[in-house]
Amino acid sequence: MSQAYSIIYDSASYDLANGMAKDLGLGLDGMVEIIRTAFKDGEFKLRFSNEVKADEAVLVMRMYPNVNDNVVALMFALSKLKGMGKSIRVVLPYLAYARQDKEFLSGEVASIYVIGDMMAHYGVKELITIDVHSHDILGRLGVRVTNLSASSMLSEYLNNSGGLSNPLVISPDEGSIERSRVFAEYIGTDYAYLKKHRDRATGEITTDEKELDVKGREAIIFDDMIATGGTIANAAKMAKSNGATKVLAVCTHALLIDGASDKLKDAGVDSIIASNTISNSFAVIDVSALISKALQRDA
């Protein structure tokens, strides 16, 4: 009996690919590693470690860190799979460039649509991602997109970990209100939101002062991602000043750029809780089963 899928992965995504392969009942011959060979001028080449046996190829790749190299590697791998005549699904748990979905300043490129055009060009059947930053892009990438959510898994982790007696979920900006509302429902509590402002030229973030009903309560600051940590740090300081007993920063994608984890600690964040869409020490939730279920639903 022929296998349903071949999972193609790079070394940075092995744990996700291996978890998916186990869930899908694939043996070692169902997994194909992408091997990169680097040259001194910065170029690299790709080689598949073994034959892609199944007609259905599932390409799994973490896009962060080294985003731009990974975009090039994605393009190379897709070209190879298209040349083999495979039906291609791409799994990008963290969808890089999703924040650049419009021309914020005159002359900018809406980069995420370039990524979509590339996948469409190489015949991608489906893109599977998790907690995409902007839902506005979902019907506009030129390929079918399945956007999964890690919110229920993150909330389950919190509910099972203990230590929460009367939490308040806080959205650090207006863009995350809906996801924070849903997350609060999972937790079984209420939510509040803050209003932030970003200087598009400098990137500086400010947050409007607001009274929060968090005195004597645990503050759960919830967002899809933590990048430099500025937005979350502002929210943490406000929660502390309003009497929060504990502050948790919870997200799907913990990029944590330029010492963001130290910035959050200094702002009063007691712990950072994230999924393994990005691999680091704060990734307590494994999303491989979530991805596998999505593949099986469409089998």
Active site residues: 196
Q: Are strands 205-207 and 218-226 parallel, antiparallel or unpaired?
A: unpaired
Relative to beta strand 44-48, strand 31-38 is antiparallel
The residues facing 50 across adjacent strands are none
Whole-angstrom distance, CA of residue 120 vs CA of residue 124: 6
How far is residue 228's CA from residue 277's CA, in Å, rounded to a whole number?
17
**CB distance 105 to 200 below 8 Å:** yes
Q: In the numeric block, which tokens belong to residue 114?
A: 């370039």
DSSP run (H or E) holding 145: strand 145-148
Assigned token pair, 182: 């849903």
How crowded is residue 3: how many other Cβ atoms within 10 Å of its Cβ?
Answer: 17
Q: Are 45 and 72 in contact (CB under 8 A)?
A: no
Other C-beta atoms closer than 10 Å to the C-beta of 162 total 7
* Displacement of CA 177 from its chain's centroid (Å): 18
